[in-house]
Amino acid sequence: MSSLNGPLYGVSAGACAALAAFFVKLSGYSISISWAAILQSSEKGADFGIYDLFDVIVSGVLVIVHLLPAIVCNILMANFVARGLAFSQSTVVPMATNLASNLLLTGILSLVFFGEEISMWWIVGITLIMTGTVLFNSSNLVTDQDIKHISEKQQ
């Protein structure tokens, strides 16, 4: 059993969590854009027409298209967290790894796809979090030699 499996599952869980948040945010954009158009046309005194109904249907389909991958990503994240916990001696390490990778990837996705700003304080914070996560994981790495030594002691 490789000692890198635990951190690898934690990073995978964080990536799935970040992707789930990304897809949920996309579904929110499709809802807000279509409803904003409907509200704008109703404020101008226009009736709710066939094109508005089409917008509502397309918006609903887009929400489903974006929420299904979010649900799948959340299911995968829970699976990866459970597997990471199985490889760890404490719950702190896999959860910290999950959190750190989730925060890092969410920041990158929001910068690239949504144009959100990343401040210097965010960079300092994520650097500290990633440093702590690396320290957590490096102190909990168990080599094959350690496993052999532990099994010899138990016999």
pLDDT in tens, 34-82: 555 655 655 555 555 666 667 677 777 777 888 899 999 999 999 999 9
Contact 97, 137 (CB under 8 A): yes
Domain boundaries, the chain: 5-141
- Reported as a pLDDT band with limits 50, 70 and 90, residue 1 is very low
> 3-state SS string over 30-48?
HHHHHHHHHHHHHHCCCCC
CA end-to-end distance (rounded Å), the chain: 19
Least trusted range by pLDDT, from 2-6, 114-118, 144-148: 144-148
Sort 126 into a burial class: Cβ within 10 Å, 0-12 / 13-18 / 19+: middle
CA distance 113 to 1: 38
Put simply, whether the predicted model's pTM sits higher than 0.75 gets the answer no
Cβ neighbour number for residue 13 with a 10 Å cutoff? 28
Contact 54, 139 (CB under 8 A): no
CA distance 103 to 92: 16
